[in-house]
């Protein structure tokens, strides 16, 4: 883990801004569990995301930019990597504290209890990603595995192709798997490599966390277009303060297919365009640098058009300037911690010298 980027800088954050972020977290949990909300978004979801599991989703990530008027939600992630590194950076320690390790282990234990109603203890868990040993955060997966092993859980890290999976369940190396901690970015389990896991999940033979249901309720970027509509959110029973929070904290977000393409093109320098079901910066286009040819290639029904909220800036003692992205890590409606990601260039990355995860300091 020490080879991974932790910045020495500290990012100031107003307590009032943090309170808004936490309010958004709690409100999203409320929406996720509201049957009327679930029915409203169901029409846009594949079958895998309409299935409601008994468990929630570990390691959610809420990403914000800070504007002069306060925090703005950029996106929500259901498989937010870097949590161990980020929480370490926040505490300025080489390892996570024992109390935080206990909280993280408790989170996985609760997911399992919710899934099986306490019928038996969690015995075997697999952390799944595509070619995990080649992933930049593979050391973090190893750290999670070591923590969970101290709780008596047998943990492996595997590519989905190493599993035997179908509607009867999942096994690895001939042993049945109880739970998968899913770091794979096929959020709706649509790839052929994930089809066996999908069958086991839908047949309730596998505890999958995070899962397609939570992704569909919160992280599919089409949800942002709904949350921006005050009238619809009021019809769902949100009170005035909750609706105002959504209006304030979410940049105006619409689907390209609902807009006049010529007007979007004319206003492109103030916009960012994103695919609705991709992760991180994959496929994100800043309007000011987009060619007309690339714009014409976008799929209108699956492209989010969002008002651009530039990231805030932070300089080090040498005058090097870094863009700032804030990530709130969460489980259910609880915050696990908040950290900043410092970078240069167009999108968040962990390769900028002097950048990486940084501690947040309340002011």
- At 162, the pLDDT band (50, 70, 90 cuts) reads very high
Angle at 203 between CA 198 and CA 205, to 5 degrees: 90
CB 336 within 8 A of CB 105: no
Across all residues in the chain, what is the average pLDDT?
A: 91
- Please give the pLDDT value at position 101: 75
Residue 95 has pLDDT above 60, yes or no: no
Residue 1 has pLDDT above 50, yes or no: no
Mean local confidence (pLDDT), 303-307: 96
Residue 345 has pLDDT above 90, yes or no: no
Q: How distant, in Å, are the alpha carbons of 32, 254, 301 from that of 304?
A: 21, 6, 8
Q: CATH says 6-219 is which class?
A: alpha beta
Mean local confidence (pLDDT), 57-68: 95
240's tokens = 């005035």
CB 297 within 8 A of CB 313: no
Lowest-confidence pick of 47-56, 90-99, 330-339: 90-99
Helix/strand number for the chain, H first, E second:
13, 18
- At 82, the pLDDT band (50, 70, 90 cuts) reads confident
Residue 66 has pLDDT above 80, yes or no: yes
Q: Identify which of 82, 63, 74, 5 has the alpha carbon closest to the alpha carbon of residue 284.
A: 74
Q: Omega into 249 within 30° of 0, i.e. cis?
A: no
306's tokens = 């969002």
Tell me the per-residue pLDDT of 261-302, one tens digit each, with 9 for 90 and over: 999 999 999 999 999 876 555 678 999 989 999 999 999 999
- Can you name the residues that pair with 356 across neighbouring β-strands? 342
Mean local confidence (pLDDT), 167-175: 97
| pTM for the model | 0.93
Tell me the per-residue pLDDT of 209-254, one tens digit each, with 9 for 90 and over: 999 999 999 999 999 999 999 999 999 999 999 999 999 999 999 9
User: Are β-strands 169-172 and 164-166 bridged in parallel, bridged antiparallel, or unpaired?
Assistant: antiparallel
Residue 83 has pLDDT above 60, yes or no: yes
CA–CA separation, 171 vs 95, rounded Å?
32
Q: Which residue has the higher pLDDT, 4 or 332?
A: 332
Lowest-confidence pick of 122-136, 194-208, 265-279, 291-305: 265-279
Angle at 29 between CA 20 and CA 96, to 5 degrees: 75
CB-facing half-sphere around the CA of 118: CA atoms within 13 A? 0
Lowest-confidence pick of 23-27, 42-46, 104-108, 219-223: 104-108
Residue 97 has pLDDT above 70, yes or no: no
Lowest-confidence pick of 77-81, 125-129, 261-265: 77-81
């Amino acid at each position: 883990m020490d080879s991974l980027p932790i910045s020495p800088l500290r990012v100031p954050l107003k307590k009032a801004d943090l309170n808004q972020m936490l309010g958004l977290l709690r409100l999203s949990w409320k929406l996720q569990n509201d049957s009327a909300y679930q029915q409203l978004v169901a029409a846009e979801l594949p079958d895998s995301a309409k299935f409601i599991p008994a468990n929630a989703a570990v390691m959610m990530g809420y990403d914000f930019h800070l504007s002069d008027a306060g925090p703005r939600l950029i996106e929500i992630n259901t498989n937010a990597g870097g949590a161990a590194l980020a929480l370490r950076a926040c505490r300025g320690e080489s390892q996570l504290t024992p109390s935080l390790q206990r909280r993280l282990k408790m989170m996985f234990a609760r997911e399992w209890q919710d899934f099986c109603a306490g019928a038996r203890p969690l015995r075997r868990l697999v952390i799944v990603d595509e070619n995990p040993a080649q992933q930049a955060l593979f050391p973090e997966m190893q750290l999670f595995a070591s923590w969970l092993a101290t709780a008596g859980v047998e943990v492996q890290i595997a590519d989905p192709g190493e599993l035997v999976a179908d509607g009867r369940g999942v096994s690895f190396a001939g042993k049945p798997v109880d739970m998968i901690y899913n770091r794979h970015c096929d959020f709706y389990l649509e790839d052929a490599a994930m089809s066996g896991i999908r069958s086991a999940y839908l047949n309730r033979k596998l505890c999958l966390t995070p899962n397609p249901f939570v992704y569909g309720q919160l992280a599919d970027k089409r949800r942002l277009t709904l949350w921006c509509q005050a009238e619809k959110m009021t019809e769902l029973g949100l009170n005035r303060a909750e609706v105002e929070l959504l209006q304030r904290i979410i940049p105006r977000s619409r689907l390209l297919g609902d807009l006049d393409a010529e007007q979007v093109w004319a206003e492109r320098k103030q916009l960012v365009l994103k695919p609705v079901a991709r992760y991180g910066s994959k496929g994100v286009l800043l309007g000011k640098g987009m060619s007309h040819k690339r714009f014409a290639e976008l799929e209108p029904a699956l492209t989010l058009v969002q008002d651009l909220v530039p990231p805030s800036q932070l300089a080090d003692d040498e005058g090097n300037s870094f863009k700032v992205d804030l990530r709130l890590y969460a489980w259910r409606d609880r915050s696990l911690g908040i950290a900043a990601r410092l970078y240069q260039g167009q999108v968040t990355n962990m390769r900028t010298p002097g950048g990486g995860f940084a501690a947040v300091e309340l002011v």
